[in-house]
Structure 1
Amino acid sequence: MLSNGGGRGGGGGGGGRASPARSGTPSPARLERISSLSSGCGDYDVSGKVMLLGDSGVGKTCFLIQFKDGAFLSGTFIATVGIDFRNKVVTVDGVKVKLQIWDTAGQERFRSVTHAYYRDAQALLLLYDITSRMSFDNIRAWLTEIHEYAQRDVVIMLLGNKADVCSERAVRTEDGESLAREYGVPFMETSAKTGMNVELAFLAIAKELKQRAVNQPEEPRFQIHDYIESQKKRTSCCAFL
């Protein structure tokens, strides 16, 4: 099995939760071991740590559950406290890639806890809510933190979530595309409710991690930007109103 070394550019179950930093709180390394032991994902070739980042309420937990279980977590919103994680194995070109996905709290008071987990992440999915201008405006602050705490070549992807709520859109698709170009990261809009582009986001990450871990000179270099542009779904209903 290959544990993909991290980088910034770029099934089974199991889960756990880390509370805000305090006496007795499991360390990131200990939670990694817990995740590995509880995942039931023993059969894989490559593994990588993926973190979901963004303001509280942008839909990170629903995004994860949609990918992991194919379901939408409806009902009253309950903010994630500290860190939560799930594992899922996906097959990419015959290679089994275990994604260890970490769902983080977006509230400011938990930010110091989140920082501890940046260091060994191979990929970061940075979400904002297309119905919340504030969550989009805060993306620059998140990117500043990423550049301060994450590995130099970590994979970063910008995602505009809740694209199904077109009537309440506050952030134009063009704004997301422009910001992504400015920082040189791939971008697409997603919906944790309908599943739009959720699997695509994780599959693109898995392909990138596989490419990095399984170096085959005869294969053309995987370009995550080009892959997403060729695969993502565009919906005309989401024009800015």
Structure 2
Amino acid sequence: MDQWRITVLGDGGVGKTALAVQHPSPSRFINFGSFYNQTYDPTIEDAYRKTILVDERPCFIEVIDTAGQEEYATLREQWVREGQGFILVYSIASRRTFDRLEVFRNAMLRVKRAPPVFILIGNKCDKTYEREVSREEGQALARSFGCEFLETSAKTPHNVERMFTTLVRNLRGERGIEAGNGAPKQTTGGGPGGKKKKSCVIF
């Protein structure tokens, strides 16, 4: 069983904790029941561990929920350093959280030696009438970042399972793990080190 440490980054109040503990399907996210808390309680750091099925193969993920407030910026490099994959989150109902995404992306680029594996998430898409950031803006930013993009709702919970499975697939692809048995792929061609070109997929 492959294991991944996933760090959730984003400004305070975007719903990082709700995404970290949420799941839409008990048959897939084995360790936790469905959870959504409407009360905002700022997090410094929490870890949530769960076993999930991705492409009919189980994997273990540890989700690190981090503080987004700037007073905890000194801890950000540590969280990034320890993460293998990243969920970069903003709230579609807050322009300010969208504008601050570059801060968290720059932290990843500064700390990680290799290009980080991450997905861009526009959370709280259930708040249709409070929307301040359009879906098209999220898509455009994901293209500029070179990553995948989803809009989610921890409340409904739209696309939450897809968020985790998409990131795990990307991590497996980066590690070169075969979908069938978890063994590393034999890479040939594609330039030095068998590197492949990455593509951006938007859902």
TM-score, normalised to structure 2, is: 0.81
2:99 matched residue in structure 1: 137
**Which residue is equivalent to 1:77?**
40
Mark the CA change 1:196 to 1:94 in structure 2 (over 3 Å): closer, same or farther.
closer
For residues 104 and 151 of structure 1, the distance between their equivalents in structure 2, rounded to whole angstroms, comes to 21
Q: Secondary structure of the residue that 1:178 maps to in structure 2?
A: helix
* Cα distance in 2, alignment partners of residues 148 and 58 from structure 1: 23
CA contact (8 A) 2:118 2:167 kept: no
1:163 maps to which of 125, 148, 168: 125
1:152 deviation in Å? 1.6
* Cα 1:104/1:173, change in 2 over 3 Å: same
55, 80, 93: which one aligns with 2:11: 55
Contact 1:51/1:125 (<8 A) preserved: yes
Is residue 121–residue 151 contact of structure 1 (8 Å, CA) maintained in 2? no
Select which of 167, 184, 195 maps to 2:157: 195
- Superposed displacement of residue 97, structure 1: 1.0
My pick for the range that moved more, 205-214 or 136-145, is: 205-214
Structure 2 match to 1:5: none
Task: Please tell me the residue identity of whatever aligns with 2:11.
Answer: D
Distance 1:224 1:100 in 2: 26
For 1:215, the equivalent position in structure 2 comes to 184
**Sequence identity percentage:** 32
Deviation, structure 1 residue 217: 4.9
8 Å contact kept, 1:49–1:121 = yes
Distance 1:118 1:151, change over 3 A: farther
Contact 2:66 2:79 in 1 (8 A): no
Equivalenced residue count is 179
AA partner of residue 114 (structure 1): R
CA distance in 2: counterparts of 1:151 and 1:118, whole angstroms: 11
Aligned counterparts of 1:127 and 1:93: Cα–Cα separation in 2: 24
Cα distance change on mapping 1:94 and 1:105 into 2, 3 Å = same
Q: After the TM superposition, which residues 166-181 of structure 1 pair with which residues of structure 2 at under 5 Å, given as runs?
A: 166-181=128-143
Q: CA 1:99/1:151 → structure 2, altered by over 3 Å: closer, same or farther? A: farther
2:106 counterpart SS class: helix
CA shift at 1:86, angstroms?
0.6
Contact 1:79-1:105 within 8 A present in 2 as well: yes
Q: Is the 8 A contact 2:108 2:116 kept in 1?
A: no
RMSD: 2.0
Distance 1:104 1:146, change over 3 A: same
Q: What is the letter of the counterpart of residue 184 of structure 2? A: N
| TM-score normalised by length of structure 1 | 0.69
Note the residue ranges of structure 1 that are not aligned, 5 or more in a row: 1-44, 233-241
**Which residue does 1:238 correspond to in 2?**
none
